[in-house]
Structure 1
Amino acid sequence: MKRRVRSLISMSLVAGSLMMYSCGDSKKEKDDAVSHEDHEMHENSDHTHSEKTMAAATAEFENEVVKKAFNQYLEVKDALVQTDAEAAAEAAKELQASLEENNPEIAVIAGNIAAEKDVNKQREIFSELTAAMDPVLKQEISSGKIYKQFCPMAFEGKGDYWYSTSEEIRNPYFGDKMLKCGRVDETIE
Structure 2
Amino acid sequence: MKIKIYIAMTLVAGVLAACNQQTKKEESHEGHQHANHEGHDHDTTAQNTSPAGPSFNSDELTNVYAHYTHLKNNLVASNEAESKTAATALKTATDALKDADLVKAASVTASANDLEGIRASLNDLSKQLERVIKREGLKNGEVYVEFCPMANNDKGGFWLSNSKEIQNPYYGEQMMKCGRIEETLK
Q: TM-score, normalised by structure 1?
A: 0.78
Residues 1:154 and 2:151 are matched in the alignment: yes
Q: CA RMSD in A?
A: 2.6
Aligned counterparts of 1:149 and 1:128: Cα–Cα separation in 2:
13
Residue segments in structure 1 that go unaligned for 5+ positions in a row:
37-46
Higher helix share: 1
How far apart, in 1, do the equivalents of 2:160 and 2:53 lie?
12
Q: Is the 8 A contact 2:122 2:158 kept in 1?
A: no
* Mapped pair 1:110 → 2:99: no
Higher deviation after alignment, 54-63 or 13-22: 54-63
1:167 match: secondary structure: coil
Identity %: 26
Aligned equivalents of 2:48 and 2:64: distance in 1? 12
Q: In 2, distance between residues paired with 1:12 and 1:177?
A: 19
Taking structure 2 as the reference length, the TM-score comes to 0.79
Structure 2 portions without partners, runs of 5+: 27-40
Contact 1:56–1:165 at 8 Å: present in 2 too? no
Q: How does 1:59-98 map to 2 (within 5 A)?
A: 59-98=54-93
Q: 1:130 aligns with which of 126, 131, 139?
A: 126
Equivalent position of 1:14 in the other structure: 10
Q: Deviations over 1:29-64 (max 9, x none)?
A: 3xx58xx7xxxxxxxxxx934994676661111111
Determine which structure has more spread, i.e. the larger CA radius of gyration: 1
Distance 1:56 1:179, change over 3 A: farther
What secondary structure does 1:180 align onto?
coil
State the shift of 1:23 in Å. 1.5
Q: Does 1:165 align with 2:162?
A: yes
* 1:9–1:155 Cα change, 3 Å: farther
Q: CA deviation at 1:122?
A: 1.1
For 1:52 and 1:155, the matched residues in 2 are separated by 24
Aligned residues: 169
CA contact (8 A) 2:143 2:160 kept: yes
Displacement of 1:137 = 1.0
**Offset at residue 153 of structure 1 (A):** 1.9
SS of the residue corresponding to residue 65 of structure 2 reads helix
Matches within 5 A, 1:19-34: 19-25=15-21, 29=23, 32=24
Q: What is the CA–CA distance in structure 2 between the aligned matches of 1:54 and 1:16, rounded to whole Å?
A: 33
Kindly tell me: are residues 48 and 118 of structure 1, through their superposed partners in 2, closer, same or farther at Cα, counting changes over 3 Å? closer
Following superposition, the deviation at residue 8 of structure 1 comes to 4.3
The residue type equivalent to 2:122 in the other structure is F
The answer to which structure, 1 or 2, has the higher relative contact order (CA under 8 A, 6+ apart) is: 2
Distance change in 2, residues 1:88/1:161 (3 Å): same
